[in-house]
């Protein structure tokens, strides 16, 4: 990136996460007891912002955070870890977003989120911060804030000459003209299935989904496949990047570690193939620890894993 690329801009969500670790995930109507409880900090936007920050990139995040008790904890945490408080807008009318997470002994999870103040992040909020926000190199955004705000951010970033990365999560169908806005999208299997209409279960179906998404207008698609690594699909190229072998503990925020580290690597000037390898390493390290932001790896941890493997 050029010297004018002052930061990675993240427009997205911030939550307080309430996680219970259980031996197995419950069935409908069932209570599974005996688990351990962890209060932590999450939200896809904040996770990805912190992942990029820990990977060594300068980050400016725009988020809306309630004034309630959870919101105060969240605000103090995000400023303490190094995010600029100017972008962390406080909302006096609704509580901060929260997520309820269950994680089983294999690291699989179930998540339900109450978006709270995240659903009130508006186009006007982004416009009010344009002078701070858009002298940037990369925009990284997700779908836990209103679609019109995400779309405005993507369009404004393109006008400013920025590289745009969309993590289309949580998954939902998107218009083809919306899908054409980001330079790169980073869906997981579930999100790629929803967007493409092709159920992704393995590398072959991931390739089919990638081809469909390119036909729908996407420019570059990177499908994250958990233990199977990641699949890159762009015009004239399909390439598989194997996962780093680790023992999974908790898959929470692994996709966020991937997207944030990918953006940081691109900001640093790595080519896309190199950036995907680094992002894969970050995702692998993330699943070896419990929690969301607590599990995000540092640049030193990522480089150590790359050196070993």
Tens-place pLDDT, residues 122-151:
999 999 999 999 989 999 999 999 999 999
Report the distance separating Cα 269 and Cα 42, nearest Å: 27
Give the mean pLDDT of 4-19: 89
Tell me what percent of the residues of the chain surpass a pLDDT of 70: 98
Give the mean pLDDT of 65-70: 97
Report the distance separating Cα 41 and Cα 274, nearest Å: 29
Residue 292 pLDDT level (bands cut at 50, 70, 90): confident
Task: Tell me what pLDDT residue 4 has.
Answer: 45
Report the distance separating Cα 223 and Cα 227, nearest Å: 12
**Chain-wide mean pLDDT for the chain?**
95
- pLDDT for 206 beyond 50: yes
Give the mean pLDDT of 59-64: 98
Please give the C-alpha separations between residue 277 and each of 22, 64, 133, 202, 271, in angstroms, as whole numbers: 31, 32, 28, 19, 10
Residue 309 pLDDT level (bands cut at 50, 70, 90): confident
Report the distance separating Cα 264 and Cα 278, nearest Å: 10
Residue 5 pLDDT level (bands cut at 50, 70, 90): low
> What CATH number belongs to 8-12+44-62+119-308?
3.40.1190.20
- pLDDT for 29 beyond 70: yes
Task: Tell me what pLDDT residue 1 has.
Answer: 44
Residue 22, Ramachandran bin (φ over 0: left; ψ between -120 and 50: alpha; else beta): beta
Angle at 224 between CA 25 and CA 216, to 5 degrees: 120
Report the distance separating Cα 118 and Cα 133, nearest Å: 18
Place of tokens 């953006």: 263
- Per the annotation, the verdict on 36 as an active-site residue is no
H/E stretch holding 159 reads: helix 147-159
Give the mean pLDDT of 21-47: 92
Which of 104, 125, 250, 256 is catalytic? The answer is: 256
């Amino acid at each position: 990136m050029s010297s004018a690329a002052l930061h990675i801009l993240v427009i997205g969500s911030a939550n307080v996460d309430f996680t219970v670790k259980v031996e197995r995930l419950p069935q409908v109507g069932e209570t599974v007891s005996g688990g351990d409880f962890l209060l932590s900090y999450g939200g896809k936007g904040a996770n990805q912002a912190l992942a990029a920050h820990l990977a060594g990139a300068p980050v400016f995040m725009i988020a809306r955070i309630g004034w309630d008790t959870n919101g105060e904890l969240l605000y103090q945490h995000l400023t303490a870890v190094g995010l600029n408080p100017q972008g962390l807008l406080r909302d006096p009318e609704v509580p901060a977003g929260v997520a309820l997470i269950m994680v089983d002994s294999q690291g699989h999870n179930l998540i339900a989120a109450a978006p709270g103040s995240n659903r009130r992040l508006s186009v006007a909020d982004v416009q009010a911060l344009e002078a701070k926000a858009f002298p940037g190199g990369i925009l990284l955004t997700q779908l836990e804030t209103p679609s019109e705000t995400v779309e405005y951010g993507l369009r404004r970033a393109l006008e400013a000459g920025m590289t745009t990365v969309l993590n289309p999560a949580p998954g939902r169908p998107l218009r083809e003209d919306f899908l054409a806005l980001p330079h790169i999208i980073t869906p997981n299997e579930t999100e790629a299935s929803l967007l493409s209409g092709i159920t992704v279960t393995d590398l072959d179906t991931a390739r089919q989904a990638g081809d469909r998404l390119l036909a729908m207008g996407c420019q570059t698609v990177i499908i994250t496949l958990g233990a199977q690594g990641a699949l890159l699909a762009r015009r004239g190229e399909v390439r598989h990047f194997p996962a780093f072998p680790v023992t999974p503990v908790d898959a929470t925020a692994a996709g966020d570690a991937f997207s944030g580290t990918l953006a940081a690597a691109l900001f640093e000037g790595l080519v896309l193939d190199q950036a995907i390898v680094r992002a894969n390493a970050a995702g692998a390290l993330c699943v070896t620890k419990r929690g969301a932001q607590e599990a995000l790896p540092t640049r030193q941890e990522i480089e150590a894993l790359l050196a070993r493997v």
